[in-house]
Structure 1
């Protein structure tokens, strides 16, 4: 019964993935795969020799670090808050999770209006408070654009981390907190010595989901800035998209292979480090 599914997976996923390892070393420019010529490491040299590639790598790292840090910290803070017995807990859980189900394109269009330098709600609100000096060209300033995109990503996807953290918090036995209270531990000591260690599996899950999503970022970039202004918000996945749209399939495959290896190595190293810190109930 598993054979049809395995064959489908082999044909549609495994075979193309293995083929990518070969075509990354060819001059493939159309879909005539048999005419592609082996060019060695030329595609990879082209990637590293261009300033655009280095900028895309830098932007991807900035986006990944910023979004991962804030998704974890904000998601954990919301989870701790919503784990308390409040009358509005169910309502707040729905509100904070709601951005996750929204379309990325719709979110990008909304934030394009919010970020507008003159008519945008963000700058108008800052000017209303007398904070004119904080009003910025959020998505047209080359130095700010990646941070502005990161803020949208954090707003949209923090709800996922919140739910995972909330599930982790509710699985921690109350006996541990009761024993700590009897021993005289205050709220911060309980959080540091009980909550964080026992929540590490959830933190690990959110961390890897956020990091992998950050390294693969594409949809929010193309929907919000289309890689602009200029190339200021180009990322590695956006660069792959550009290469394929220009029929540079060899270079595009090389870039996607490089991105795959970057994710694989990063996840493997960090997984080894974090796994050593985990504790069991």
Structure 2
């Protein structure tokens, strides 16, 4: 009897949280699969008419939608590559026994805790074409030809936004890589040193294989964050100039703000499937590599 009561007590404590999760996440998520195929334009769900694939066709036929998809992919690739490369480089540097290690860890991680809006305001000033710190610094050292209109040049704007994202979130990757590096046993390096292995051989044969779980975590977080990008875009450019820096999430936001709920839900479903398929493929590929190593 006591065992039965203890078991029921456990389930009873879990039940409120489970109900909230079902009501606030599972039910709306399942409903979105249906409303993506309707002409829902207000919150009168019962009047929504089933229109099949029309919402998806209008999204793929629109040139702006394809540009949003292209911007999302470019942003994801650029930010993932640089966040991983710079994060690993900083982790390797700060894993050394330096006097300023603790101070530098704090400095490099500090951007992660800053508000996105505050970061966007700061970089809007830095990127200003005439009074911005970046262009003024370039002119000061005689590189006037490199001074650009960083947030209004249609060819540069997505890369400028990507640079801000990299600056803000590299510290997160650094911390995860650093945790992985500090979990590697020193005995492995000592044995490699006795065998005459070079620094590159140690990195390739010891550090990288043992760091693969951390690499996997940083890679997935960066990819998902890139595909879901919204806040930094709306804070820096509001999708401009014109609509050339819109992303998929921005497109969803714009559809919902115009009360095109059916089309917005369809766009959100496309984003969900894009993230799901991308992560599944990458997880399969990385898992195979992990087994081989």
TM-score interval w.r.t. the shorter chain?
Answer: over 0.9
Q: What is residue 75 of structure 1 aligned with on the other side? A: 87
Shift of 1:27: 0.0
Contact 1:165 1:199 in 2 (8 A): yes
Q: Counterparts of 2:70 and 2:250 in 1: how far apart (Å)?
A: 13
Aligned residue among 52, 62, 65 for 1:50: 62
Rounded Cα–Cα distance in structure 2 between residues aligned with 1:122 and 1:95: 21
Q: Which position in structure 1 is the counterpart of 2:193?
A: 181
2:213 aligned partner: 201
Deviation for aligned residue 1:173: 0.6
Residues of 2 paired with 1:217 and 1:70: CA distance?
16
Structure 1: which 5+ residue stretches go unaligned?
none
CA RMSD of the aligned region, Å? 1.0
What is the rounded CA distance, in whole Å, between the counterparts of 1:36 and 1:204 in structure 2?
42
Task: Report Cα offsets for 1:129-167 as digits up to 9, x if no partner.
Answer: 000011001000000000000000000001110000000
Alpha-carbon separation, structure 1, partners of 2:162 and 2:81: 11
The residue correspondences of 1:238-249 to structure 2 (distance < 5 A) are 238-249=250-261
- The one-character-per-residue Cα deviations of 1:41-89 (angstroms, maximum 9, x if unpaired) are 0000000000000000000000000000000000000000000000000
Q: Distance in 1 between matches of 2:58 and 2:20?
A: 35
Is the CA contact (8 Å cut-off) linking 1:198 and 1:278 kept in structure 2? no
Q: What is the TM-score normalised by the length of structure 2?
A: 0.95
Runs of 4+ in 1 over 3 A off after TM superposition: none
Match of 2:35? 23
Say whether residues 1:100 and 2:129 are aligned partners. Answer: no
1:13, CA displacement in angstroms?
A: 0.6
Greater Rg over alpha carbons, structure: 2
Could you tell me which of 205, 209, 225 is aligned with 1:213?
225
How many pairs are equivalent? 281
CA distance in 1 between counterparts of 2:95 and 2:291 reads 22
Return the alpha-carbon distance in structure 2 between the equivalents of residues 192 and 105 of structure 1.
40
- Provide the residue aligned with 1:143 in structure 2: 155
| Deviation per residue, 1:152-208 (Å, 9 max, x gap) | 000000111000000000000111111111111111110011101110110000000
CA contact (8 A) 1:197 1:279 kept: no
CA deviations 1:86-134 (Å, max 9, x no partner) are 0000000000000000000000000000000000000000000000011
Structure 2 residues not aligned, in runs of 5+: 1-12
* 8 Å contact kept, 1:100–1:157: yes
Check whether the contact 1:26–1:37 (CA below 8 A) recurs between aligned residues: yes
Q: CA deviation at 1:277?
A: 1.5
Q: Does the CA contact (< 8 Å) of 1:48 and 1:54 recur in 2?
A: yes
